Structure 1
Amino acid sequence: MLQSMTGYGIAHRETDTYAATVEIKSLNSKTLDLSLRLPRFLQDRELEIRNLVTKSLIRGKVNLNLDFTRPRAAARTGAVLNEAVLLLALEELRQVSARSGASLEQLTALAHALPGALRIPADSTAATEEEEEVPWEELLPLLHEALDRVNQFRRDEGQALTNEILSYLDKIRIQLADVERHDPTRIEQVRQRLQNHLAEITGSEHFNPTRFEQEVLYYIEKLDIAEEKVRLVNHLHYFTETVYLPEPTGKKLAFISQEIGREINTIGSKANDSVIQHLVVGMKEELEKIKEQINNIL
């Protein structure tokens, strides 16, 4: 079944000490164009992440953002009040309150924001730095979850694309059947023209029967579209089979579409018939719709 290259997936985890989110967006691209945004402590995992994404998504313009944050309360764990600084600040604030008439309660609330009002003991700082190193094995399942959701999104989009492309293919089959029905009429018209032309030239003294026969055979062979019709039917059948293959088939379908277009063009150029020309234009129109959608397929 077809898969679209367009996809979106997100996975989130929140604990008492951190919140992590993996967000992946995928758009159309001829190759894999991967852009990563990682927290600093995961920079050494970039190659591993790239390999995982490449293996899972294969193609597309992919943006992956791994956002890692810590709650403010957790970030300040271990901080204690600097009593000496606060006492000195409070004394100064009382003097300001007396001079300005401002409420002491309002000014006291500012004391905790003064430089040096909070201090983090050396052992607490070390502990905080250690907490920043969340094990990669703990975050890896988030990446897998986001990738799974992108691929599910792609499959859902691919199902819609499959139905749309096959509907265009059915219209080409219908128009080809119309060509098949009209072809005997076209051949009869060609035969009648040849007979009329033969009646005109056989009376000429310069008439060469051998050369005329060769030219007639060449003319008939040039107008014969039987082989092109058979090949076009085979290409349409092969296209349908390829749509349902389990592996990515976007590039293969593009090649088959080129072959379908070649046969349609040859039918149009050899038929030399206005009715078939109109049908050929209709088939080309449906084929262009197919090619446009193939650009979205993995």
Structure 2
Amino acid sequence: MESSVRSMTGYGRGEHIAEDRKFTIELKSVNHRYNDINIKLPRSLISLEDKIKKHIMKQVFRGKTDVYIGFETFAVDDVDVKLNEVLAQAYVGKLKILQEKMGLEGGSFFDLTAKFPDVLTVEKPQKDEKVIWEALLPALDEAVTRFVAMRQMEGGALKSDVLAKAERIIILVDKVKERSPLVVEEYRDKLNNRLKDLLDGVDIDPQRIATEVAIFADRGCVDEEITRLKSHLVQLADILEKGGQVGRKLDFLVQEMNRESNTIASKANDIQIVQATIELKSEIEKIREQIQNLE
């Protein structure tokens, strides 16, 4: 199967009729940290639950998936109506006593007795598991195929959105990178002008100014953070391109991106860098929210 990015939300339905037996299967899922598959099926099919789950897990790897299996049979051999004669006789006996004591009129108790619990019960005899499985499998495969297709379609939309936000982050990071050297130069000029005003014509030691500027530049240097952030963005695009189970990888990567952006923000000493960093963190948070939906 083609490796692609998938959403954890999806829906799929399948039906199949074989030998007067009809199977209807529905799958729907929402986000979840793990692969949690819950199956609701008739008691007559309970022996197939583990087999059904393993079959689904071959194509579904993460999310909370609810599976609903309906089974209708029109085959005479699949239905057995049981009559509990002892219970029916007990009911009739008690009804006759009630009729005599209360002076009630009436004839047959047939209709009333048949409505009492457990007098008539419908049982579905256990059939060959292999025969039932072969009849159920086409409906299951159809439901899973549609389910996965929907998750892939939504995953593709999420991938495009995340990559668009990553492009915006690259623009903001480049803005910070271009602005950082200018901040140091502006600080140098401000420091020179301030000292000239304070010292009123007295010569200023260039070495002392250079030292102060170097300390300022070192405190506000974000070159390493920018390099790592750009590296994370390259990895993000690469992971999305390869596809598969990307959710957990991207979750870790976005945590690292957040760490770098927080460090840049803590070192920011310029209003333009601060503004760019705020936008940067906002875009990273949007990506984090989106990847929570990815398998």
TM-score if structure 1 supplies the norm length?
Answer: 0.73
AA partner of residue 267 (structure 2): K
Which residue matches 2:278? 281
CA contact (8 A) 2:30 2:64 kept: yes
TM-score if structure 2 supplies the norm length?
Answer: 0.74
Q: 1:260 & 1:65 partners in 2: Cα distance? A: 40
CA contact (8 A) 1:36 1:63 kept: yes
Which residue matches 1:54? 57
Aligned 1:149-164 pairs, distance under 5 A: 149-164=146-161
Give 1:151 shift.
Answer: 0.9
Segments of structure 2 that go 5 or more residues without pairing to the other structure are: 82-110, 115-121
CA contact (8 A) 1:16 1:74 kept: no
Cα offsets for 1:113-164 (capped at 9, x unmatched): 9999xxxxxxxx99x8476975212212322221121111111011111111
Identity of aligned residues (%): 34
Residue 19 of structure 1 aligns to a residue whose secondary structure is: strand
Q: Structure 1 residues 146, 208: closer, same or farther in 2, change over 3 A?
A: same
- 1:29 to 2:25 alignment: no
CA contact (8 A) 1:28 1:295 kept: yes
CA contact (8 A) 2:14 2:140 kept: yes
Which residue matches 2:289? 292
Give 1:27 shift.
Answer: 0.8
Which residue matches 1:69? 72
Q: Alpha carbon RMSD of aligned pairs, Å?
A: 3.3
Give 1:10 shift.
Answer: 0.8
Give 1:211 shift.
Answer: 9.2
Picking from 237, 241, 248, the partner of 2:238 is 241
Q: 1:136 & 1:73 partners in 2: Cα distance? A: 19
Aligned residues: 253
Which residue matches 1:89? none
Give 1:73 shift.
Answer: 8.1
Which residue matches 2:222? 225
Segments of structure 1 that go 5 or more residues without pairing to the other structure are: 79-112, 117-124
Give 1:225 shift.
Answer: 1.5
Residue 230 of structure 2 aligns to a residue whose secondary structure is: helix
Q: 2:272 & 2:176 partners in 1: Cα distance? A: 8
Q: 1:169 & 1:240 partners in 2: Cα distance? A: 8
Q: Which has the larger radius of gyration?
A: 1
Picking from 44, 47, 59, the partner of 1:44 is 47
Picking from 174, 177, 180, the partner of 1:177 is 174
Q: Structure 1 residues 254, 131: closer, same or farther in 2, change over 3 A?
A: closer
Cα offsets for 1:24-50 (capped at 9, x unmatched): 101111112221111222211222222
Residue 39 of structure 2 aligns to a residue whose secondary structure is: strand
